[in-house]
């Protein structure tokens, strides 16, 4: 397991134009397990226009990131959240479908 910190877009409005200043921490974090996404999941998400390459699973469903958040791990890997799902439908765990980012986004 690795500690993941949730960040959100930090946008500013300059003269009517919204620009991104990067991300800022939300103050929430969780322990999760990072795994490579199966090829079937990669294809399904790609067809929806939301490319993924990893799935992060957490048993702490009380802390919920959302699509467009960025998860930053303790070893400073960045993952852009494309979507989330409650795998069991019981509210005890959450799966984040993410794309690892190496471009500073």
Cβ-Cβ contacts under 8 Å for 47 (sequence gap 6 or more): none
For position 89, what pLDDT does the model report?
82
Q: What pLDDT shows up at residue 104?
A: 58
pLDDT of residue 22: 79
Per the CB < 8 A criterion, the answer to whether 7 and 24 are in contact is: yes
Query: Nearest Cα to 47, choosing from 12, 17, 23, 82?
Result: 82
How would you write the pLDDT of the chain (105 residues) with one tens digit per residue? 999 999 998 877 677 776 777 788 999 999 999 999 999 999 999 999 999 999 999 998 888 889 999 999 999 999 999 999 998 888 889 999 999 998 755
Which 8-state DSSP code applies to residue 90? S
Dist. CA 57–CA 14, nearest whole Å: 37
């Amino acid at each position: 397991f690795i500690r993941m910190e949730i960040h959100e877009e930090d946008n500013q409005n300059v003269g009517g134009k919204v620009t991104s200043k990067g991300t800022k921490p939300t103050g929430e974090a969780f322990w999760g397990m990072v795994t490579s996404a199966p090829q079937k999941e990669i294809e399904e998400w790609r067809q929806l226009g939301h490319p993924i390459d990893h799935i992060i699973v957490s048993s702490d469903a009380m802390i919920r990131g959302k699509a467009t958040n960025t998860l930053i791990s303790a070893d400073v890997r960045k993952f852009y959240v494309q979507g989330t799902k409650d795998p069991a439908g019981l509210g005890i765990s959450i799966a984040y479908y993410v794309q690892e980012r190496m471009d500073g986004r």
